[in-house]
Structure 1
Amino acid sequence: MYWTEFLTVALIHLLAVASPGPDFAVVLKESVAHGRRAGLFTAWGVGTGILLHVAYSLLGIGLLVSQSVLLFNLLKYLAAGYLVYIGIRALRARPAPELALPQADGVLRTARAAFVAGFVTNGLNPKATLFFLSLFTVVINPHTPLTVQAGYGLYLAVATALWFTLVALLFSHDRVRRGFARLGHWFDRLMGGVLVLLGIKIAFSELR
C-alpha cells in the first residue's frame, strides 16, 4: 500500500545523500587521515544523526524550527561554527613522518571522537533539517501511520550509514591512503579548507 511512497522517499534520499556536502567531507577526511576504524565510526555517526532529524520531524519540531528565524539561525550558526572549528584544526595539520600513513595531528583518533564528529556534522546541518521537514510534510502523506513513517526514517538512517560506510571503506584502503600520503598534510589542509567553506556557506544560508 505504501510502496510507491517509500520508493519516492528512497529515490529522493539517494539523490540527496550522493550529493557531496559536509557529511561526505567529514567522512572522507576521517577515513584518509585516521584510517578505516575512524572512517567507519564517522559514517555510523552520520547515520545516527539521521534519526535525530526523523525524530523531530515526526514530533513536529522541524516545522517549528522552519517557521522561527531565531531557532533556524541558532541552529545554522552552531553548525557553521562546528564545521569551521574542525576545518581550522585540519588547516593546522603538520607533515606526517615519512613512510607513515597520514595522521592529521599525530594523535590516534578514538572511535567515540570519530562517531561524534559524524553525528554532530549531520545533526546540526540546517539543510538536513529543511530536507527532512519537506520530506515528512510534502512527500509523505500526513495520513500515513506514524509507525510507517518511523519505518521510513529507520530506512533513511540505515541507508545513509551504509552509503558512508562504503565511502569510508574506499578512502581508508591502504593503497588509497598511501596515494593521498604523497600529498600528506596538504590533503588534510585542503579538506580543512572545504569544511571551512561549507561552514561559511551554511552561516550565510537563509530560511526560505
Structure 2
Amino acid sequence: MLQTFLIVLAGVVAAQASPGPNMFAVIETALGRGRRAALLVVAGIASGTLVWAALASLGLGAVFASVPALLTVLKFVGGGYLCYMGFRGLRAALRGGEAALRAETRAISDGAAWRRGFFVVMTNPKALLMWMAIATFLFGAGLGAVQVFSFGPVVAVSATLIYGFYGIMFSTGLASRGYARFWRWIETAFGLAFGGLGATLILSGARDLRP
C-alpha cells in the first residue's frame, strides 16, 4: 500500500504545484490581504481535500462510470472557465487593462477567507479530475474505501505545504513590488497556463463525444 500511496502522491504534488484555481485564489489573496488571509484560504483548500477524499471513497468513480455524460459536461464547463481566465490574463498583458490576477484589498473575515478556499477547491475542475484519477488508481490497486479515504489527510498536508508556500511568498512586500513591476509577464504566464489547461479539458471532453 505504501508504494501505491507514494506513486499517487507524486502525481498529486505535481498537480498541486502547477497553476490552477487553487493557486490563483491563494496568490491574489496574499497579494492584497496578507499572509493570515492567504493561509486561511489554504486551510479551506486543505479542508476541501478531505471532502473530496470522502466522495472518492464512497464511489465517486462509480458515479461517473455509470453517468459518463456528467463528467463530459464538467470537462467542458471547467475547460471553458479556465480558458476564460487565460483569455483575461493575456488580454490584460497585451492591452494593459484590468489584470486577471487582482490583489484584493477589501477587508475579509477569517471565516470568509476559509470559505473561499473551500469553495474554490470544491468547484475546481482540476481537483475533480485529480480525485477521479486517485480513486481509479487506488481502487484498481486493490485498496478498500477506508484506505482510499485515508489518502485524504496526506493530500491535505501536501496542499497545506505547497499552497502555504505560495501564500507566504506572495504576502511579502518584495513579491508585491515584483508583481507591480512584472505583472504583464506574470499575467502572460498565467494566461498561457490556464488556457493550456482549459484547452486540454475541452479536448478531452470532445474525445468523450466521439462514437
TM-score normalised according to structure 2 size: 0.70
Q: Does 1:72 align with 2:71?
A: yes
Residues 44 and 161 in structure 1, CA contact (< 8 A), matched pair in contact too = yes
Moved more, 166-175 or 68-77: 68-77
1:10 Cα offset (Å)? 1.6
Structure 1 residue aligned with 2:127: 128
Please give the secondary structure, in 2, of the residue aligned with 1:153.
Answer: helix
| Paired AA for residue 43 in structure 2 | W
| Structure 2 gap segments, 5+ residues each | none
Structure 2 residue aligned with 1:161: 160
| Paired AA for residue 109 in structure 1 | I
Moved more, 108-117 or 72-81: 72-81
1:141 Cα offset (Å)? 4.2
Structure 1 residue aligned with 2:18: 19
| Paired AA for residue 121 in structure 2 | N
The superposition leaves residues 137-169 of structure 1 with CA deviations (integer Å, 9 ceiling, x where unpaired) of 224545324333222221112211221011101
Taking structure 1 as reference, are residues 192 and 145 closer, same or farther at Cα in structure 2, changes over 3 Å only?
closer
Residues 19 and 194 in structure 2, CA contact (< 8 A), matched pair in contact too = no
| Structure 1 gap segments, 5+ residues each | 95-102
Taking structure 1 as reference, are residues 19 and 203 closer, same or farther at Cα in structure 2, changes over 3 Å only?
closer
Residues 29 and 188 in structure 1, CA contact (< 8 A), matched pair in contact too = no
Please give the secondary structure, in 2, of the residue aligned with 1:107.
Answer: coil
Residues 76 and 202 in structure 1, CA contact (< 8 A), matched pair in contact too = no
Residues 78 and 124 in structure 1, CA contact (< 8 A), matched pair in contact too = no
1 or 2, which has the higher helix percentage?
Answer: 2
Structure 2 residue aligned with 1:179: 178
Residues 81 and 198 in structure 2, CA contact (< 8 A), matched pair in contact too = no
1:104 Cα offset (Å)? 4.1
| Paired AA for residue 163 in structure 1 | I
Give the number of equivalent residue pairs. Answer: 199
Question: What is the aligned-residue RMSD (CA, Å)?
Answer: 3.7
Taking structure 1 as reference, are residues 12 and 191 closer, same or farther at Cα in structure 2, changes over 3 Å only?
closer
Q: Spell out the pairing of 1:32-111 with structure 2 (5 A cutoff).
A: 32-65=31-64, 67-72=66-71, 75=74, 104=103, 106-111=105-110
Structure 2 residue aligned with 1:98: none
Please give the secondary structure, in 1, of the residue aligned with 2:107.
Answer: coil
Residues 60 and 132 in structure 2, CA contact (< 8 A), matched pair in contact too = no
- Tell me the distance in 1 between the aligned counterparts of 2:80 and 2:115: 15
Taking structure 1 as reference, are residues 156 and 192 closer, same or farther at Cα in structure 2, changes over 3 Å only?
closer
Q: Identity over aligned residues, as a percent?
A: 26
- Tell me the distance in 1 between the aligned counterparts of 2:196 and 2:70: 20
TM-score normalised according to structure 1 size: 0.71
Moved more, 112-121 or 40-49: 112-121
Residues 44 and 118 in structure 1, CA contact (< 8 A), matched pair in contact too = yes
1:206 Cα offset (Å)? 4.3
Taking structure 1 as reference, are residues 158 and 38 closer, same or farther at Cα in structure 2, changes over 3 Å only?
same
1:78 Cα offset (Å)? 6.8
List 4+ stretches of structure 1 deviating above 6 A.
Answer: 80-85, 91-94, 186-196
1:28 Cα offset (Å)? 1.2
Taking structure 1 as reference, are residues 30 and 76 closer, same or farther at Cα in structure 2, changes over 3 Å only?
farther
Please give the secondary structure, in 1, of the residue aligned with 2:106.
Answer: coil
Q: Spell out the pairing of 1:108-119 with structure 2 (5 A cutoff).
A: 108-119=107-118
